[in-house]
Structures are given as C-alpha cells and as structure tokens.
Amino acid sequence: MTAGSVTLALPARRELLAFLQRYGVYLAIVVLLLYNLFFTPNFFTLDTFRTQFVQVVPVLVVALGMALVIGTEGIDLSVGAVMALAAAIIPLYIGYGAVPAALIAIAAGAAIGLVNGSLVALVGVQPIVATLAFLVAGRGIALLVAGEQLKSVTDPGLLALGRQGVAGVPYSVLLAVVLVVLVAVLVRRTTFGKQLVAVGGNRRAAELAGLPVTRILLLTYVAAAVLASIAGVVGTARLGASVPSTLGNLIELSAITAVVVGGTPLTGGQVRVLGTVAGALLLQFISATLIRNNVPDAYSQIAQAVIILVAVYIQRGRTAAR
Amino acid sequence: MTDAPAGPSTAAQLGRERAARLVQSFGAAIVLAVLVVVGSLAFPTFATVGNLTNVLTQSSFLLIVAVGMTFVILTGGIDLSVGSVFALGGVLGAYGSTFGLPGGLLLPLAVCGLIGLVQGALVAHAGMAPFIVTLAGLLGVRGLVLAATDGGSATPLITDDALIALGQGGVAGFRWPLLIAVVAIAAGSLLLARSRGGQAVLAVGGSESAATLMGLPVARVKFGVYVLSGLCAGLAGALNAAYSSSGVPTVGVGLELSAIAAVVIGGTLLAGGRGNLIGTVAGVLLLSVIQNLINQVGSLSSSVQSIVSGVFLAVVVVIQTVLSRTQRL
C-alpha cells in the first residue's frame, strides 16, 4: 500500500481518492459481479438476481429513511423496533383488508417517528439516545400488542405483495424502486430536501437563516419511521407471518452500514440516495457471494466489518476537504 | 438561551444551578434509593439478603463493562463493540482455562485489549467516527466468536477449577465477580478524579480543541479509553463464563445498549466531559432493580421489562437535557 502511494504523484493520489470516495461503492459492485461471473457457478441467472433484489428490499427501504436522518446529522436506532411494531399490528387489523391494515401499521410507525423527532428537535436530546429508548422499548411493546405468539397472515392481497409480481418483477421490488425515486426527488428537487441538508450541514446557520428547523427534523424522523414500517409490512408479507420477536432485529446496523458505505457522511449535510441503494446492494451481493462460495457466516460477518472500515477510511477527511 | 443575563448571577440562580448539577450527578442514586424503599414495602421477598445479593451478583458483569464505557463516553466517544467483546472474552476464557487460571484470564484480556487497541488506533490516529469503528467491531468480533466456536454451535467448557471458583466462589456471601467489579469501580473513580490521565479524559471530552491547545496528548487519551473498554468487556466476559462454567458464544447481544443506557442514566453526558462512575453504578443497579421488581410481580412478561427500561431511559434523558440547559444559562 505504501509503495503504491509513494509512486503516485500527490495530485494524482488525491484524484484517485476523490474518485474512490465518489464511485468506490459502484466500482466494488462491478468488481464483485465480475468475480461471480467467472468464479461462482450458476450466479448469473435471473432467479439469483430476483432473489437478491427481493431480499435486499427491507434493508434498502429502511436505509433510505436512515440516509435522510443521517443527512440531518442524526441517527435512528429505532427502525428495527418500528418494523416489529408494524408486524405486530398487521394481524390485528387484517380483517379490514390488506390496505387498511398496512396503513394503520404505517400510521403507528409515524407516531413513533413523531416521538423520536420531538425528543430530538423539541427537547434537544441527542439522536442516538432519543432513538435508543424506542429500540429498547419498542420490541417489548410489539410483543405485548401481538400477544407474544406467531400469527400467520393469510390475506391474499398482502401475500401477493410478498410473493407475486408483474412481468417477472416482484411487487416488493417495484415498491422499493418507487420509494427510491420518491426519496431521490425529495432530496434533490424539493425545498424540504434542500432544507434538510442545510440543517445537517450547520444547524445553527440554518436556524439563523430562518429555516423551520424543528419542523424539518420532526418530518425527517417521521419519514424514517414511515419507511421502516413499510419495510415491516413488506417483511411480514414475504414471511406470510407476523413475527415481531425477530423481524428487523439489528437492521439498524445494516441500514447505517449501507448509508455510510454509500458515501453519506455521518457528520450530516449530505444525502446520497443512489449511493445508499448501491451500499445496500453491495452488502447483499457480498453476503450472497460468500454464501454461494460456502464461506461460513462467521467469516462473512468479519468481511462485512472490514468493508465498513475500508469504506469509512476512504471517506475520512471528506468533510474537512469540502 | 440567547438572552442569558450577562450581569452577575444572583444567589438564587447559583442555588438553582447547583441543585440542577446535583440532580444530574445523583439523580439516579436518589431514584434507586426510592425504588429500593418502595420495593421493600411492596414485596416482602424483595429486601431479603438472598435477593439483594443476587441482584448485585447479576449486575457485576454489566458494572465492569460500564466502567470502560463510562471512560469512552467521557471522551465524547462510544463503544458499540462491548457486547461482542464480552462474548469473545467468555469463549477465550474457556479455551484459555486449559492452561489454568492465568490462561483463562490472560488470553481473553490480551485479545480483547488488542481489539480495543485497533479500535482506539482507528478512532484516535485515523480520525474515524467512533460509532462506525465500533459498529464494525460489533459485527467483526461477533464473527470472530462464531469462527472460534464452529459457527456458534460449540460451547467450550471451563476446565480449570480455580477459574470456576473465581466465578462462583466468594467471601462473606459476596461473589468474586462482584468484588472485582467493586475494585474496578474504585480504581476507575480514583483514576478519573485523582490522576492526570483521568483529568485529561474529562478535558478531551469537554473540548477537544481546548485540550489540544493545552498540550494534552489527545490522541493517546482517546486511544487509551478504547483499550480500557476492551479490557473491561473481556474481563467481564471471562468472569461471566467462569460464573456459568462455559463460554457461550451467543451471550452479550445488546449488552452495549444496556451499558450505554446505564451510563447515560447515571448522569454522564453523551457529549463527553462530564460524569462520574458513581452515577454509572447507580444506573446499572437501577436497571437491575427494575428487572428484579418486575420479576417480583411475577405475572408480568419480559416485554414489560424492556418497555419500562426504555421509557425510563427516555424520561431520564429528557430531564437531563432540560437540566443541562438550565446550567448553560
């Protein structure tokens, strides 16, 4: 490593670093796919990719919301618990149909987001502790709501969301694509998106500039919780059962990893939506590659840890350079 | 906040400020005392010697982990890896115990200290965010635990009688892990209040740039607290394994959250620079007493316990945040 960096002239090295910071995650996906093309038997089939895309949906949807929160220099640890709450609520209202049940689950998520957002924006609690409280309490609430037993979900409408599709594309993947587009438009094309990034870049300056900082933060945490509950609905639909005890467990870590690997700095002021998508896909492909090559789960976790560190090491100093 | 009086503070203001500071430092201890009194009155089985020593023994492992976590948080950092390091400490303690008591303690301490060393170097010298570095630690070290136990299917047993005695024996009714936790707390408090290193920890957490300007070895301080946290988590894990006679690879999941919650409930500011170990002890004991009281009720499920802990955490941080706002005025 040192030999390489010595031979490169300084500007070239800086350019390489900038390139890696911007496109590293896409490059990594391409490299990984090429590796699989040559070395992993039966990887390049339509079925494999369909499975990968279906599996990545919950993490991806949660990560979209996480990217928004991280853009405000916050973090949301409660997303997994919000998914569990959504899973617990669905069987209670599925009698009224799939759509009402999903909407009630999402509304409950929004309420949690409002509580998180209030703690952060109105009281001024640090985001990590504010959302830690619901991470601790949320699954307990979900289990209390659900009555601590596994309930199978048989509503055909909901099951279709998890298991069917149109023209070979599963509905859940289509839903994820729609959400990605929505969030991308929100960040790039709307006033709210610009304000969100401004708050994350410098909250004090945003306040002085007269931005409605409190409202922006509230809405951001609500958006993250809504996306998490959508992920909970999709996860429940895919399983065909409401499993609040395990659904979304530790997903906050995967989502944060996807966002950070995708190039959104933890220090806020920037949201990279496509990078987040790529980050989630990269993590998915890594675990798929390791599984397909019969690498035990243990080493797959270690590999993920190393990749996070490398990604963050490359992005280090990014905000300082800006 | 902006219209803070620039003139001399009145005695009343000073008094209020002092009260706020006291509540912040000793609030957890006061609530703990109230809870113990209420618990004793409500449940005849609560205030028995057997039950209370049981609560203390159960808390001793989290206490040791929380000592390290307090130091990390005082510098304004965070260590999410302690749960995984705790499990690794237990597994390595069991493997090391084939070489007797020294092996059963030194192997986990050496490896867990090394993990803290790597994390500390990445935070202090490479300037990476503690949250992300130790998040990678949480994942990677759990991977190491799985790799060391055949994917988590093996549970290495502790073979050394001396190590088992260290986990399960004790003096005067107090088990060794609890006594070790007390020593760790005392040593930590002394270090924090009376040593230059401890003062440097507080200074770095208070204002990193000011600490740098004062010529304090900021990087070395930050590096040190992660090593300390790794050692504490590894020691706690090894003792827990000795207590249960085996290194279970799945223990310690979510332990980081309990430790962080205890430290925060104990009045240590997550932003760093202010807090103490006595508060942390009160925070840990509070969580344990809540758990014990819920068990005393009997009919309540374990979900209730997590709900109570979560709500409690939220209430405490809200009070703390409001109080520290008063102090800034």
Which residue has better confidence, A199 or B320? A199
Residue B296 within a domain: no
Q: Does a structural domain hold residue B25?
A: no
Within chain A, strands assigned E span 151-152, 165-166, 169-170, 241-242
Nearest CA in chain B to A303: B140
Considering only CB atoms, B313 lies closest to which of A124, A133, A140, namely: A133
Q: What is the pLDDT of residue A241?
A: 86
Residue B219 lies in a domain: yes
Is the alpha carbon torsion for B176, B181, B184, B189 positive or negative? negative
Interface test with A, best of B139, B141, B142, B270 (most A CBs within 10 A): B139
B146/A301 CB distance under 8 A = yes
- Residue A68 · residue A214 · CB < 8 Å: no
SS3 B85: helix
The nearest CA of chain B is from the CA of A146 a distance in Å of 11
- The 3-state DSSP class for residue B246 equals strand
Q: Which residue in the set B142, B144, B310 is minimally distant from A136, CB to CB? A: B310
Beta-carbon contacts of residue B187 (< 8 Å; ≥ 6 apart): none
Tell me the average pLDDT across A156-165: 82
* Among B327, B320, B261, B328, residue whose Cα is nearest residue B26: B320
In a domain, B187, yes or no: yes
Contact list, B144 vs chain A (CB under 8 Å)? 298, 302
In-domain check, residue B297: no
Contact assessment for residue A155 and residue A236, using Cβ atoms and an 8 Å cutoff: no
Number of domains comprising chain B? 1
Among the residue ranges A27-36, A204-213, B312-321, the one predicted with the least confidence is B312-321
d(CA B118, CA B79): 13
Q: Which of A119, A208, A309, A313 to mutate to test the interface with B (most CBs of B within 10 A)?
A: A309
Query: From CA B25, how far away is CA B28, in angstroms rounded?
Result: 8
Mean pLDDT of A167-177: 89
Is residue B141 in some structural domain? yes
Top residue of A76, A118, A132 to mutate, by most chain B CBs within 10 Å, is A132
Minimal-distance CA residue of chain B relative to A119: B318
Check if A141 contacts B (Cβ < 8 Å). yes
The distance in angstroms from the start CA to the end CA of chain B is 6
Distance CA A226, CA A242 (A): 18
pLDDT at B9 (0 to 100):
58
Is the distance from CB of A78 to CB of A255 less than 8 angstroms?
A: no
DSSP states along A260-288: HHTT--TTSS---HHHHHHHHHHHHHHHH
H/E run at residue B322: helix B302-328
Candidates B316, B185, B203; CA nearest to B262 is: B316
Residue B267 DSSP one-character state: T
Query: Of the ranges A72-86, A184-198, B46-60, which one carries the lowest mean pLDDT score?
Result: B46-60
- Which residues from chain B sit within 8 angstroms of residue A312, using beta carbons? 128-129, 132-133, 136
SS3 A168: coil
Sign, CA torsion B231/B251/B66/B55: negative
Q: Which residue has the higher pLDDT, A222 or B311?
A: A222
What confidence score (pLDDT) does residue B86 get? 96
CB-based contact A133 B317, cutoff 8 Å: yes
* Beta carbons of A144 and B302 less than 8 Å apart: no
Q: Is residue B5 part of a domain?
A: no
* Chain B contact present for A144, CB below 8 A: yes
Q: Do the chains contact at B142 and A301, CB–CB below 8 Å?
A: yes
Task: Give me the residue from A148, A296, A308 closest to B136, CB to CB.
Answer: A308
Nearest CA in chain B to A146: B303
Nearest in space to A102 (alpha carbons), one of A54, A160, A144 = A160
Strand, coil or helix: A242:
strand
Average pLDDT across chain A, whole number: 86
The set of residues, in sequence order, having a beta carbon less than 8 Å from that of B233 and lying 6+ positions away, is: B64, B65, B68, B79, B81, B82, B83, B85, B86, B89, B112
Instruction: Name the minimum distance, in Å, from the CA of A133 to any CA of chain B.
Output: 5
Structural domain harbouring B161: 51-252+269-275
In a domain, B306, yes or no: no
The answer to whether residues B90 and B240 touch, using CB atoms and an 8 Å cutoff, is yes
Between the CA of residue A134 and those of A65, A108, A235, A243, B70, what are the distances in Å? 16, 13, 20, 18, 22
Task: Compare CB distances from A124 to B122, B146, B321 and report the shortest one's residue.
Answer: B321
Å between A59 CA and nearest CA of chain B? 16
Substitution target from B138, B313, B327 for chain A, most A beta carbons within 10 A: B313
**Residue B175 to residue B186: CA distance in whole angstroms:** 17
CB–CB of B122 and A124 under 8 A?
Answer: no
The alpha carbon of residue A286 is apart from the nearest alpha carbon of chain B, in Å, by 14
| Shortest Cα distance, chain B CAs vs residue A124, angstroms | 7
Residue A196's closest CA among A212, A209, A178, A180?
Answer: A212
From the list B135, B140, B271, the residue facing A302 with the nearest CB is B140
- Position B315: which residue type? V
- Longest Cα pair distance anywhere in chain B, in angstroms? 69
Say yes or no to pLDDT of A215 above 50: yes
> Among partner residues B126, B146, B307, which is closest to A137 by beta-carbon distance?
B307
Q: For A119, which DSSP code?
A: I
| Structure-token match 């609890």, residue found | B178
Q: Identify the helix (H) or strand (E) that includes residue B170.
A: strand B170-171
Contacts of B102 (CB under 8 A, 6+ apart): none
Give, for all 329 residues of chain B, the pLDDT tens digit: 444 444 455 777 777 777 777 777 777 888 888 888 988 888 888 888 888 888 999 999 999 999 999 999 999 999 999 999 999 999 999 998 888 888 889 999 999 999 999 999 999 988 888 988 998 899 899 999 999 988 878 888 888 888 888 888 888 778 889 999 999 999 999 999 888 888 889 988 888 888 888 888 888 999 999 999 999 999 999 999 999 988 899 898 889 988 998 998 888 888 888 888 999 999 999 989 988 888 887 776 777 878 888 888 888 888 877 777 655 44
Which of B214, B219, B197, B320 lies closest to B270, judged by CA?
B320
Rounded to the nearest angstrom, the minimum Cα separation between A239 and chain B is: 23
Please identify which residue in the block is written with the tokens 């867990």. B112
**CA nearest B184: which of B235, B115, B230?**
B235
The pair of three-digit structure tokens given for residue B104, joined into one six-digit string: 């059963």
Q: What structural domains and CATH numbers belong to chain A?
A: 48-321 (1.10.3470)
Token pair belonging to A66: 């996480």
- Tell me the residue length of chain A: 322
* CA dist., res. B262 & res. B247, Å (int): 25
How many A/B residue pairs have CB atoms within 8 Å?
141
At A96-126, the pLDDT tens digits run: 888 999 999 999 999 999 999 999 999 888 8
Task: Give me the DSSP letters along A191-203.
Answer: HHHHHHHHHHH-H
Q: Which one, of A190, A176, A193, A175, lies nearest residue A276 by Cα?
A: A176
